[in-house]
Structure 1
Amino acid sequence: MYRKQATFRFYEELNDFLPHAKVKVAFAYPFNGSPSVKDAVEALGVPHVEVDLILVNGQSVDFAYRLQHGDYVSVYPTFETLDISGITLLRERPLRHTRFILDVHLGKLAKYLRMLGFDTLYRNDYGDEEIIRIALAQHRIILTHDVGLLMVKTVTHGYWVRSQKPREQVREVMARFELYRQIDPFNRCIRCNGMLMEVPKASILDRLEPLTIKCFNKFYRCQGCGNIYWEGSHYERMLHLIKTLEER
């Protein structure tokens, strides 16, 4: 039987993690002992990396704050326009260079991000421990469909991708991290994330189909895996997507 109770209220996209009855309303959270506010937030289903500000009774606190009976807890996501520099920071500021590592469920999103020029690691055999190790060592943001992965204590930067459709996922990630001005398309290999370099057509004729040789003159080779690229029909479709993102 619970002996204590606090009141929680989650704001904006943090409500995506909550059951319907707790969305955009204040609700009671019963507890015993003195759990940290971080443990309480994650017990309610919200990963700590999605949270940027916690107010307890109107005062900002860090994740280590111990809940007390009667506390009113307001939990906020990342702020894009409001300056919160004067309050308690829950985690490090955004990484200086935006780089990603994706879980096994986001292979198509990885290709889109690479096409847009973002340094994006992905393999379909990455395990959770390996993803976390690489993310910490290389200062990468974890993108995942697995909420549990973002609740691992050592994870510092991550985002739970809501959409199931790759193109919507791209727009979602671009908006979440304000990446529009960082688009630098067609500089990365969509297969391995390596950098592309223009190569003379004559040096790769043995790797091209006759129709490709006839119709195209500019080619690029990945410095990692050696894959060859040219501006075919797929290129035109990607230009349309890039245009819509840049307009945004």
Structure 2
Amino acid sequence: MVTATFRFYEELNDFLPPAMRGRDWSCPCARAATVKHMIEALGVPHTEVELILVNGQSCGFDRVLADGDRVSVYPTFEALDVTPLLRVRPAPLRVTRFVADAHLGGLAALLRLTGYDTLYDNHFDDREIEAIAAREGRIVLTRDRELLKRGSITHGCCVRALKPQAQLREIFARLDLRRQARPFSLCLSCNVPLRAASSDEVAGRVPPAVLERHERFSTCEACRRVFWEGSHWRRMRALVDSLMLPEGTASAPADG
């Protein structure tokens, strides 16, 4: 029998029973068990892990555990560059884009609002999400930790917050999305780029009062929706502006 000692750090403890949080504890392991196998057997999705140290040395998920090993498991580091140590990711994603599961439609729309390509369909099943993520290099967003344990998913986030705006703030903070955001560049419904449209072009597609009060419009080539800077836009602009504030600056409260 192989016995290893584990300790999980920071928010990874959210996935563990209370008795195992924030301390070292020993665990029997199957023979030839890998680090990844044991981490997920203990309830933590591999996509939540950024750094693994076994006996003080960085290793990958495929490290086979030996009797007496001490395993330290860390989430994403927000303030410390540990890039030279990392061995758990095969390669970084060149473009930040997402696929969201059926329970995160509100989050998907808000990510599109900030300019992030986000696929969402409430009919996607787990196998389809896994296939899309692998084929298109997308980050999986879900509240289902079992989905994130699927073998071909290399990048994903288990979303903790319950309401869409709080979820958006969580993902922005965890993945440092502020720098690459391009607000109001994608259709919230279709996830395709918007283009500028003239007043003449949108005449008949918006209420006459809107046409009189506004000069700037954008439209979606897929669904032909027209967008303008009305009261709803101003509310969304306030949300986006709060996300763009430097870290540590006070912002408007999230919904709920």
Structures share fold, TM-score greater than 0.5: yes
- Matched residue, 1:178: 176
- Matched residue, 2:17: 19
Query: Any idea what SS the aligned residue of 1:86 has?
Result: helix
State which of 215, 218, 221 in structure 2 corresponds to 1:220: 218
CA RMSD, 1 decimal: 1.5
Alignment partner of 1:137 is 2:131: no
Distance in 1 (alpha carbons) for counterparts of 2:207 and 2:82? 57
List alignment gaps of at least 5 residues for structure 1: none
Which aligned pairs between 1:4-153 and structure 2 lie closer than 5 A? 4-87=2-85, 89-153=87-151
Q: Is the 8 A contact 1:99 1:141 kept in 2?
A: yes
Q: Deviations over 1:182-229 (max 9, x none)?
A: 121111100111111111212222222233233222211112222111
Distance in 1 (alpha carbons) for counterparts of 2:30 and 2:193? 54
Matched AA of 1:50: E
Q: CA deviation at 1:88?
A: 5.1
Q: CA deviation at 1:80?
A: 3.2
Identity level (%): 48
Q: Deviations over 1:139-181 (max 9, x none)?
A: 1111111111110011111111110011111111001111111
Alignment partner of 1:204 is 2:219: no
Distance in 1 (alpha carbons) for counterparts of 2:83 and 2:197? 48
Matched AA of 1:244: S
- Matched residue, 1:156: 154
Distance in 2 (alpha carbons) for counterparts of 1:176 and 1:86? 20
Q: CA deviation at 1:79?
A: 2.4
Aligned residues: 246
List alignment gaps of at least 5 residues for structure 2: 247-256
Q: Deviations over 1:91-124 (max 9, x none)?
A: 1343121111111111011111111111111111
- Matched residue, 1:167: 165
